[in-house]
Amino acid sequence: MQKTVLIVGLGLIGSSIALGIRRGNPELKIIGYNRRQEPREIAVSEGIVDLAFGNFQEAAEQADIIFLCVPIKQTIEMLASLASFSLRADVLVTDAGSTKLAIVRAAEGLPFKFVGGHPMAGSHKSGVLAADVNLFENAYYVFTEKSPELENLLRGLHAKYIVMAAEEHDAVTSQVSHFPHVLASSLVQQSDSFAVGHPLVKNLAAGGFRDMTRIAESDSAMWVSILLSNPAAILARLEDFKGQLDLIGQKIANRDEEGIRNFFEKGKQIRQAMEIHQGNRGAIPNFYDLFISVPDKKGVILRVLALLQDISITNIKINEDNREDIHGQLQVSFKNETDLLRARKIIETATDFVVE
């Protein structure tokens, strides 16, 4: 019998998962549930799901596999609702939430099989219109327990499936994802306050600042729910970081040249040994930007665009203000890594522009 997969929450993650499931398992029936009507209509008209429901119970009761792809708080509420429905006997429920312990605990003792999941890729965009079949390409996809059924179902995502206990997942992501988001937002707010007495701060903020703070543009509603569902681990990272700042602060105060050099050498070596250095994805979503140093000449931007005409570009920005420490004044954004690499090759082959 044809199996039915239900995607609950037809946003960025739910719709992208649906596209990936269809790519790997085209024979499956994929249905969706979303409270709002507009995502339902778009998901059906774009072929992301075969059918979309505005009633959770009606959709859930005809599904063999259910993906909860809504914010964390709603995921926890929906687990409780599912327990009161007449679900299929061997239904498998999973989720996509960015934290795992609160969700896994909420599923304990419920009358259906639940496996926690976290596809660790994303975008600064949200909603069904940002759906991308390649979003999870080569990204880690964490399960809280081994599930060959889910791995097989999700094979079309081309992700890397790993198993982690929920608690360990939340500890690790607090360090490499949650805390960096807190830090990025703090840094831009500190700069904003400082700019009151030093207005040129806004002009002189350059490449290093941009790289450090890009994730400050992430969706605030999502980050509220992440911080509130993983508070202990994130607070521990905050405390620990204060110690790091004190350490380097002391070295600066003591004019400890050797100590400061060692501090930066150590940071450099650690980063170079990390997977992100090999271009692999980590816990923070990648942004697929190409920085091209183009001469300030008439027609040059049109030339770049003509060269890239066969590749889907999501955004173009001309960074005019400050060129110091910046990788290039033309910033072109792509949907995924494959498009980015193709574009880079085309520009490097056809021009002598420096590309980073």
Closest to ligand NAD by CB, 83 or 300: 83
Q: Under the rule (CB under 6 A), what is the footprint of ligand NAD?
A: 9-14, 34-36, 39, 69-72, 74-75, 96-98, 118-119, 122, 126-127, 222, 285
Q: Which residues contact 282 (CB under 8 A, 6 or more apart)?
A: 120, 176, 177, 274, 275, 276
**To the nearest whole angstrom, how small is the minimum distance from the Cβ of residue 212 to ligand NAD?**
19
**To the nearest whole angstrom, how small is the minimum distance from the Cβ of residue 34 to ligand NAD?**
5
Indicate the pairing of strand 65-68 with strand 4-8: parallel
For residue 231, the tally of other CB atoms under 10 A from its CB is 13
Closest to ligand NAD by CB, 217 or 356: 217
**To the nearest whole angstrom, how small is the minimum distance from the Cβ of residue 95 to ligand NAD?**
7
Q: How many residues are listed for the chain in this entry?
A: 356
Closest to ligand NAD by CB, 14 or 116: 14
Pairwise CA distance, residues 168 & 99, whole Å: 10
**To the nearest whole angstrom, how small is the minimum distance from the Cβ of residue 284 to ligand NAD?**
9
The per-residue DSSP string of 48-103 comes to S-SEEES-HHHHHTT-SEEEE-S-HHHHHHHHHHHHTS---TT-EEEE--S--HHH
**To the nearest whole angstrom, how small is the minimum distance from the Cβ of residue 115 to ligand NAD?**
15
Closest to ligand NAD by CB, 107 or 304: 107
Closest to ligand NAD by CB, 118 or 335: 118
Alpha-carbon separation of residue 71 from 14, 42, 103, 207 (angstroms): 11, 20, 11, 32
